[in-house]
Structure 1
Amino acid sequence: MSSALRKPFTQERKKDPEELEFQVFRMQEDMKRIAKKWDVVGIDQTNDENLVIVYKSDSEQRCNIMLNDCETSFRGDWDFSLQALFPEDDTIHIGDIKGPANKGYGSICINYLKELAKDKNIPYITGDIAERDWDHVERLIHFYEKHNFNVEIDYEDKTGSIVWNDSY
């Protein structure tokens, strides 16, 4: 069992028990609907202690790690998504991360992506920081460094790259 999967159940709960009970009920219903189309890979907890369902779709060429926050009902689409490609046998390349910031969704999804890399014996996760990311580049640098990525930024060209190596 992954550490990401154990985390929500070992932390002290501060939420109202009735609210958690409602989230668990919703989670059960949402998992049934999500599992019909995607692979459910875990349950985790956000920064504000909401339960989330983590699920994925993957093929030989691409992978999406998605998340549904159990605070709201699943309506057929993810609340957060990390989209990646498998450009080489030893690399996963993050193409895009979509969803709201500062909820813990990105950390949850990146941890599941790392687990996927380890399960597939893929030692590297890479990505690019583009000019379109420049309005939040400092937040991206903090995020990736927090998750043990090597971050290189060219402030003049407004570009950057990230690399995670399983041996770091």
Structure 2
Amino acid sequence: MNQTDVLKKDELKQELDALEIQLFRMQENMRKIAKKNEIISIDQTKHGGWVVIYASKVSNKYQIMLHDCWKPYRGKWDAAIETTYKDQHTLHIADIKGEENKGYGSVLMKHIKEIAEEENVQSITGDIVMRDFDHVERLKHFYRKHDFDVKIDYEEQYGAIIW
């Protein structure tokens, strides 16, 4: 066995160890999350990390949350998308919260779109408001990546999205 084979074997062992830790945490996290929320799915981020997706629905408000399986669940989500039903055919995104550039927003967006399709919601809307303008270009890229039409009024510092 040459040195390259030994390195590949070590890398593979490290990957398997990391996966085993994530799977153990996933099992523990799901048990804790399920006590208070509906678990929707498990998924992977763009970096390959496993996350638990869960939801809370109260009246016309629907929140999809995500917890990263690299750490134990202690009652707080790592990212969330908050929505409101404007009517039976329109879901309105009130806010997306969480750490940037982890892939959490994309995972949440995928699931909110799946829910919209399952519930026969025909459009998802949202507003880009003044407090968002320090990162408006990133938001514009994010929403376009997820097939939203994005209209921005830079002068008024307002925008609207629709899917």
TM-score by length of 1: 0.87
- Deviation, structure 1 residue 87: 1.4
Aligned to 1:130: 129
CA distance in 2: counterparts of 1:149 and 1:117, whole angstroms: 14
Q: Which letter maps to 1:86? A: Y
**Which amino acid counterpart does residue 97 of structure 2 have in structure 1?**
K
Q: CA offset at residue 25 of structure 1?
A: 0.4
Instruction: Give the alignment's Cα RMSD to 1 decimal.
Output: 1.2
Q: C-alpha offsets along residues 3-40 of structure 1, whole Å, 9 cap, x if unaligned?
A: xxxxxxxxxx9x71101111000100110000111111
Structure 1 unpaired stretches of 5+: 1-12
Q: What does residue 61 of structure 2 align with?
A: 62
Displacement over 6 Å in runs of 4+: none
Could you tell me whether the CA contact under 8 Å between 1:60 and 1:86 is conserved in 2? no
**Residues 128-167 of structure 1: pairs in structure 2 closer than 5 A:** 128-164=127-163
Q: Which amino acid aligns with 2:121?
A: I
Which position in structure 2 is the counterpart of 1:4?
none
In structure 2, the residue corresponding to 1:16 is in which secondary structure? helix
1:86 aligns to what? 85
Shift of 1:59: 3.3
Residues 94 and 126 in structure 1, CA contact (< 8 A), matched pair in contact too: yes
Which residue pairs with 2:3 in the alignment?
none
Between the two proteins, the alignment pairs up a number of residues equal to 151
8 Å contact kept, 1:62–1:84: yes
Within the alignment, does 1:106 sit opposite 2:123 as a pair?
no
Native 8 Å contact 1:129 1:159 kept in 2 = yes
Q: Deviations over 1:104-138 (max 9, x none)?
A: 10000011000110111001000000010001100
Q: Any stretches of 5+ residues in structure 2 without a counterpart?
A: 1-11
Q: Report if aligned partners of 1:56, 1:64 keep a CA contact under 8 Å in 2.
A: yes
| Structure number with bigger Rg | 2
1:127-167, Cα deviation, whole Å (9 max, x unpaired): 00001000110000000000000000001011000000xxx
Q: TM-score, normalised by structure 2?
A: 0.90
Conserved? CA contact 1:81–1:97, under 8 Å = yes
Q: Secondary structure at the match of 1:152?
A: strand
Percent identity, please: 48
